[in-house]
Structure 1
Amino acid sequence: MIPMRLRMASPRANICCMRSFMTMKGYGALMSLVEKWRDIADYKGLYQISSIGRVRSLDRIDALGRLRKGKVLADVGSMGDYRKITLHRDGNSKQKYIHCLVAETFIREVNTFSDSLLSDFL
């Protein structure tokens, strides 16, 4: 049960609140059983996306030979309440919608209608 002070109006806020509440209370192992990570199609070895919509970079060595530690990336809000993430590869950057990345990675057949419906559950 989510404590009353953590309840919020929107479902998206409730998911974020629940995620941080579970992390604070030491339920990280439980969350790792639910959350599954897969490589993003055009960014294999650089980025992964989870089944709940989090994006992380992987450990890598940059052009100068330094080790770059992977981390969970922050997403950016955009018009229409869809969340975006900026991905970098070979000196170029692209912004991608997180709900589209989840759909492309975890759903075999993607059509335009299911993309917009999926974002309601993230």
Structure 2
Amino acid sequence: MSKVGATVVHRRYVPYAHAHYGGNLVDGAYSLALFGDAATELCIRTDGDEGLFAGYSAVTFHAPVRAGDVVEVTAVVTRQGSRSRTVDFTCHVTCRGTPEAGPSAAAVLDPPLLAVSATGTVVVPAA
């Protein structure tokens, strides 16, 4: 059965505790960790196993992720081997804090802002 096209979507609020740099910027590893979580769920749903992340063939940082953002991570199987799966990932900022409007103010971004994209490979046990 083909697994190509299988998709998982995760959303998460980025807490201020994860701010790593000036301007409340979050390090790029934050998005990569979310990609790993999405890949794990994708493997469970498609193969009944958590699988293992083998590596990335591409990672591009398009825009910053900041504390106070709401991000949406999508993982899509784009190629299926006997044990490997190629997965395309995106991380979009869907909401962003707007402290200039007030200490707890925030806005929905329409359209969402592409922050990170990547392609990776996961492996699962033989059927």
TM-score by length of 2: 0.29
Of Structure 1 and Structure 2, the greater strand share is in 2
Tell which has more relative contact order, 1 or 2 (C-alpha 8 A, sep 6+).
Answer: 2
